[in-house]
Amino acid sequence: MPSKVEIDRHLNILLEYQHPSGGFPASPTFPPYRYCWFRDGSFTAHALELYGKHEAAHRFHQWCVDTILRHAHLLESTRDTILRGDLLKPEECFPCRFSLDGQPLQDGWGNHQLDGLGTWLWAVSDHLERSPCTPPAEWQHARALTASFLQALWRFPCYDCWEEHPHDLHTYSLAAAYGGLQAHGRTQKDPASTAAAGEIHSYVLKHGVVNGRLAKRFGSEEIDASLLGAALPFGLLDPASVIMTRTLQTIEDQLTSPSGGVHRYQADTYYGGGEWILLTAWKGWLHARRGELDQALQALAWVQGSVDANGYLPEQTSRHLLAPDFLPRWEQQWGSSASPLLWSHSMALILKYNLLRVQEDTGRSWSNG
């Protein structure tokens, strides 16, 4: 089972790299990732929250509130442009990532990504439920703006969580929008958010299911490991439901390497298409929730086996590559794969937390796997 020493090491890495502004760099040492993404940061804040680091989580959410309110005009221009059917210009688009002091970057990044804000709306609602306090009025304002942005735009294409395919509708992005709106609707008693979440749920079941399991994007049969998120944390599907069971099985069959590491999707060429730490932990989290403890422990052992001599977890490993010819060109462009990747450490912590809860609930103890 996860030891306290291992848990503290992951926690210390997250805490050490939190910027004084409250933002988290996706990776502090990998230049293209020295920015704060709503997606990565929200999972990091959630992991800290689970281990009682409420103040650090709170500071991240304050960073999000400040950033959203400072750039609310970009939420408006993104929404209005898309609703008019016009092409979104980079300077009009609300970014998926900001500098650590909350400034947008004009560098041509694929910015319009709904899942990041959906994840934040879910994470901030969860934070306020776990650490009840009366948040300042500005928090309510930022949450309401985010909810209404998601309500207006979920039916329109955006970049997916891997920052690709801007012309498609993505099941994971919809699941994240669902998770955010559902949590907001429930905690804020906001019927418009609850209604939009209900519509997203029906829409995904109608268009996002192929062969009895979820598909990466509408109109395609491709599988993608991010679909794990439809169950956890976003709750679009029950972890034990038939569709989720088939989705998990397809991820096992098509995206899990013989060593147990999980790839993003079969056509992945980024850094040669390696096994992602965070996805392997995510799969373990779902197994733990489904009561499949051996598989959850195997995922944990795989993740722990990927920790380097500095205690860092990278974004991906190059042990089993789907497209090895592509690795050198990425290494020439940006150097080795990002490490530490804070999202990898966060998912490792979330998996460990869930395994500890199962242990408490069942009274079962395990040797360190």
Candidate residues 109, 162, 330, 334; the one interacting with ligand BGC per rule CB under 6 A: 162
* Nearest alpha carbon to residue 27 among 100, 95, 94: 100
Give whichever of 39 and 287 is closer to ligand BGC, judged by the CB atom: 39
For residues 286 and 339, the answer to whether their CB atoms sit within 8 Å is: no
37 near ligand BGC, rule: CB under 6 A: yes
Other beta carbons within 10 angstroms of residue 148's beta carbon come to: 18
C-alpha 137 chain-centroid distance: 27
Whether 8 is catalytic = no
Query: What b-and-e string marks burial along 12-34, b requiring 16 or more CB atoms within 10 Å of the CB?
Result: ebbeebbbebbbbbbbbebeebb
Segment 14 to 33, residues that bind ligand BGC, using CB under 6 A: 26, 33
163 near ligand BGC, rule: CB under 6 A: yes
343 near ligand BGC, rule: CB under 6 A: yes
> 66, 92, 163, 331: which one is catalytic?
163
Segment 102 to 131, residues that bind ligand BGC, using CB under 6 A: none
352 near ligand BGC, rule: CB under 6 A: no
| Smallest distance from ligand BGC to CB 40, Å | 5
Give whichever of 146 and 226 is closer to ligand BGC, judged by the CB atom: 226
Whether 164 is catalytic = no
Q: For ligand BGC, which residue has the nearest CB? A: 26
> 40, 49, 126, 160: which one is catalytic?
160
Using H for helix, E for strand and C for coil, what is the string for 247-282? Answer: HHHHHHHHHECCCCCECCCCCCCHHHCCEEHHHHHH
Q: How far apart are the first and last CA of the chain?
A: 6
Give whichever of 26 and 293 is closer to ligand BGC, judged by the CB atom: 26
The region of 35-43, 77-85, 119-127, 167-175 touching ligand BGC under the rule CB under 6 A is 35-43
* Nearest alpha carbon to residue 72 among 127, 144, 133: 144
Q: How far apart are CA 244 and CA 267, in angstroms?
A: 22
Candidate residues 13, 17, 40, 346; the one interacting with ligand BGC per rule CB under 6 A: 40
Give whichever of 190 and 275 is closer to ligand BGC, judged by the CB atom: 275
Residue that has been written with the tokens 């848990």 in this structure: 7
Nearest 5°: the CA angle 164, 169, 174 is 105
The region of 55-63, 71-79, 156-164, 239-247 touching ligand BGC under the rule CB under 6 A is 156-164
Give whichever of 143 and 345 is closer to ligand BGC, judged by the CB atom: 345
Whether 160 is catalytic = yes
**Catalytic sites, residue numbers:** 160, 163, 315
